Structure 1
Amino acid sequence: MDTVALQITAARPDPALLDLPWSVPLEEWPEDVLAALPRGISRHVVRFVKLSGRVLAVKEISEDLARREYNLLRLLTRLDQPCVEAFGVISGRTTPDGEELDACLITRHLQFSLPYRALFSQTLRKDTAQRLIDALAVLLVRLHLTGFWWGDVSLSNTLFRRDAGAFAAYLVDAETGELRDNLSDGQREHDLEIARVNIAGELMDLSAGGFLPESVDPVDTSQRIVDRYRDLWRELTELERFEQGDRWRVDERIRRLNGLGFDVDELAISTDIGGTQIQIQPKVVDAGHHSRRLLRLTGLDVEENQARRLLNDLDAYRAATDRQGDDEEIVAHDWLSRVYEPVQREVPRDLTHKLEPAELFHEVLEHRWYMSERAGHDVSIEAAIKDYVAHVLPGKPDESAVLGVDTVEMPIIARVSEPPRRRR
């Protein structure tokens, strides 16, 4: 293959990229270079490839759009926003006959993540659609606080990871997005309307294909993202007024924000002319309060709800061992070595790709609770993990690489409309 004309744009170029068949249209790439992962619905050809021990997503797209999206994803990553990581852009592609081919945008595959259609191909709880939309609402709020206008908000352009019974959402397609200093109310509402329409169409597709419970109304459910978004946005940004004697409400506001997974870096507090009332408004808010605390204490880097669950177990361990007066970091180290890590060691090597470690620990805690309820007394964590590995884990789908589920084969009745033109 002639690679002289190829141009590789990447922060850390991998020489192995030259081994991929760039002179062949992406849809014709041979099976031996592809990774069997579920694909979502896309306007462009997308394939997963195995390269140097990692899995990459390759999207065939025009060069200007590929470079624009590559730069946007890198900016969002630096801003600590939940999105896939840009890996590189391949341009200058031609066939052996000299025919020009589109460029390719390369992103890292987000391990243990799934497109929404793959999730609905499994047996899930009835409220799965609502939980996915709740996760998407949190993602949209985070992006809007950063000044990012998405322009094509949908379940299809999002990847989901399990997060202690809920889901965490990640932006996977920034093709139509724009990053600004801040967004107007009109721009935010425009994104919300795009989300509502797209999600309704996606859920109608699932319903027509028999993948959505009959009790779930696509239109009513799609309205949920609007309601959830506005509730969360109000909690994060709304000005609150109260009397001077109610200063405890400052702490209450912070606790509510922490409970939603957001940290408060700065508050704007002012009094009126008479000094009888105080106004409070969060100035800078950031997500990940619990995950950052767990990372600081244990070095575990997990999703927000998972961190909350693990911290609860850590607090229970501290109380059970009567160590409330000990240094928190020392107790956390003991919990990690005596509780968390022994649970992970009980998982056979051939089952380690079923669930990521933090989600597995969460499920073991749930399993322990059910075992204790049935037994009428506390069941040890050691007994719970042994029973879970023997009877539950083997039946779980392999979420690091869900083989054999290609969502593009699931029937589509009405594709989501093309994204509207970007609002200037």
Structure 2
Amino acid sequence: MRITSALVDPALIDLPWSTPLEEWPADHLVALPQGISRHVVRFVKLQGTVYAVKETREKIAEREYDLLRALERISAPSVEAVAIVADRVAADGEHLEPVLVTRHLKFSLPYRALFSHTLRPDTMNRLLDALAALLVRMHLLGFFWGDCSLSNTLFRRDAGAFAAYLVDAETGQLHLRLSPGQRGEDLEIARTNIFGEALDLQAAGLLHEGIDPEHVSDEVVRRYETLWHELTHEQAVETDTRRQMDKRIRRLNELGFDVEEVSMSVVEEGGHRSIMLRPKVVDAGHHTRRLLRLTGLDAEENQARALLNDLDAYRAESEDLPDEAQAAHRWLTEVFEPVIRAVPAHLRGKLEPPELFVQIIEHRWTLSETAGRDVGLAPAVQSFLNDVLVHRPDEQAVLGYDPDDEPDPDLIPDDDIVDDEDLEPDPTTR
């Protein structure tokens, strides 16, 4: 046996590598909802961390491992490659396929765990937005996916929306930049794959009757093209260039993207003089990076935006905090951390901390609107814990993170996974 590992975890050695993955004993496995895969995939828990283990051919495993490592270095939204285990031999001397080990993304779900007859079309629309945004981000990084699909994507809650992550990269290619033809090919592959997956859901009775499979696949492409245009189109400006440039950059920041530079060219035509502006968008995660820089908190983009809004409001209410860094430290220690500590230990698996805080401040807004006054943070926290959180399904248990109670995903009722109230928090913050 030969292990190539980016993360040295001695516990990897103790797994039953001489046994075909399909026959691994249950005491080594974690029950997790799983998407469709052409390979045998199992989940294991080692020293508190859950890993996905996939059997595949050696060349494919090596290529995908290298590609996932490259994507990690450029901060792409993808799972993290951990190891390749090759030269496996069974007890009878039979050679076994190598495996690729990746770190499982906490609080994430495959699409089949999110689609059911109870899932509202507008919730599905947010899944399509997340997938389209993921494909745009990958294309901006020069990544040709080659097999974009719902099956190769994981979704996490993100303050009322979803964030999407690439799971399977074995058909991918990383370039300096993609040509329009490469992007078009990737889009057509995505359209075909998603249409087939939607038909599969429909045949299984898991698709809402108001959702048309062809419309689903077309919508992903339409949303992709809309976002790509907004991020990359050349804008003609005839007057007030500085204000228009600032407005464009702010709009891109609101979409969660940073701008590295803006190219400008002067065009004179028909007696009119205009300046053509083309921004160079370098990366998504504008609010995520600002929150991490100020507080050390790692959150999804929409969560980060909501947390920063709360931080900015806290700073505005505190006359003695003109410095942003000082305000962030005080907010973290006096607001965010006390709220998270107020959650009893048996309820902490319900939601990850940033999502929990976001939903609490949304709950505070709802209570305040009903009362006609600001009810305050402490009463809102207590109300949320007693009236909302205690009735939520334990998300970590649903996802197999509770070592004492790991459910069979096939036995999890649909409403435990796709409760509309769980997926539909009030979009208004503070």
Alignment TM-score, normalising by the size of structure 2? 0.89
User: Residues 405, 167 of structure 1: CA spacing in aligned structure 2 closer, same or farther, 3 A cutoff?
Assistant: farther
Aligned to 1:414: none
Write out per-residue CA displacement over residues 262-290 of structure 1, whole angstroms, 9 at most, x where no aligned residue.
01111112223689321111124211111
Which of 295, 310, 319 does residue 298 from structure 1 map onto?
295
Q: Answer whether contact 1:36 1:401 (CA < 8 A) is retained.
A: no
Q: Residue 147 in 1 paired to residue 137 in 2? A: no
Separation (CA, whole Å) in 1 of partners of 2:96 and 2:411: 23
Aligned to 2:218: 223
Greater displacement, 337-346 / 374-383:
374-383
User: Residues 407, 170 of structure 1: CA spacing in aligned structure 2 closer, same or farther, 3 A cutoff?
Assistant: farther
Which of 268, 281, 285 does residue 282 from structure 2 map onto?
285
Greater displacement, 397-406 / 330-339:
397-406
Aligned to 1:30: 25
Q: Note the 1:206-221 alignment, pairs <5 A.
A: 206-221=201-216
User: Residues 252, 89 of structure 1: CA spacing in aligned structure 2 closer, same or farther, 3 A cutoff?
Assistant: same
Greater displacement, 53-62 / 198-207:
198-207
Write out per-residue CA displacement over residues 47-96 of structure 1, whole angstroms, 9 at most, x where no aligned residue.
10011221110001111101110000000000110000000000001111
Aligned to 2:384: 388
Separation (CA, whole Å) in 2 of partners of 1:364 and 1:129: 24
Q: Note the 1:221-260 alignment, pairs <5 A.
A: 221-260=216-255
Write out per-residue CA displacement over residues 149-173 of structure 1, whole angstroms, 9 at most, x where no aligned residue.
1011111100111110001110000
Aligned to 1:134: 129
Aligned to 1:310: 307
Write out per-residue CA displacement over residues 340-383 of structure 1, whole angstroms, 9 at most, x where no aligned residue.
11110111111111111000011111211222222232221111
Greater displacement, 90-99 / 263-272:
263-272
Write out per-residue CA displacement over residues 123-142 of structure 1, whole angstroms, 9 at most, x where no aligned residue.
65442221111111111111
Q: Residue 67 in 1 paired to residue 70 in 2? A: no
Separation (CA, whole Å) in 2 of partners of 1:375 and 1:365: 15
CA RMSD of superposed structures (Å): 2.1
Question: What runs of 5+ residues in structure 1 fail to find an aligned partner?
Answer: 1-5, 412-424
Question: What runs of 5+ residues in structure 2 fail to find an aligned partner?
Answer: 401-406, 415-430
Q: Answer whether contact 2:111 2:151 (CA < 8 A) is retained.
A: yes
Aligned to 2:423: none
Aligned to 1:406: 409
User: Residues 405, 262 of structure 1: CA spacing in aligned structure 2 closer, same or farther, 3 A cutoff?
Assistant: farther
Q: Note the 1:104-119 alignment, pairs <5 A.
A: 104-119=99-114
Write out per-residue CA displacement over residues 281-337 of structure 1, whole angstroms, 9 at most, x where no aligned residue.
1124211111111111111111110010011111222223345x7111111111111
Q: Residue 158 in 1 paired to residue 161 in 2? A: no
User: Residues 147, 384 of structure 1: CA spacing in aligned structure 2 closer, same or farther, 3 A cutoff?
Assistant: same
Aligned AA for 2:300? Answer: E
Separation (CA, whole Å) in 2 of partners of 1:58 and 1:394: 33
Aligned to 1:416: none
Q: Note the 1:38-77 alignment, pairs <5 A.
A: 38-77=33-72
Greater displacement, 202-211 / 112-121:
202-211
Separation (CA, whole Å) in 2 of partners of 1:241 and 1:124: 42
User: Residues 210, 270 of structure 1: CA spacing in aligned structure 2 closer, same or farther, 3 A cutoff?
Assistant: same
Which of 84, 87, 90 does residue 82 from structure 2 map onto?
87
Q: Answer whether contact 1:209 1:410 (CA < 8 A) is retained.
A: no
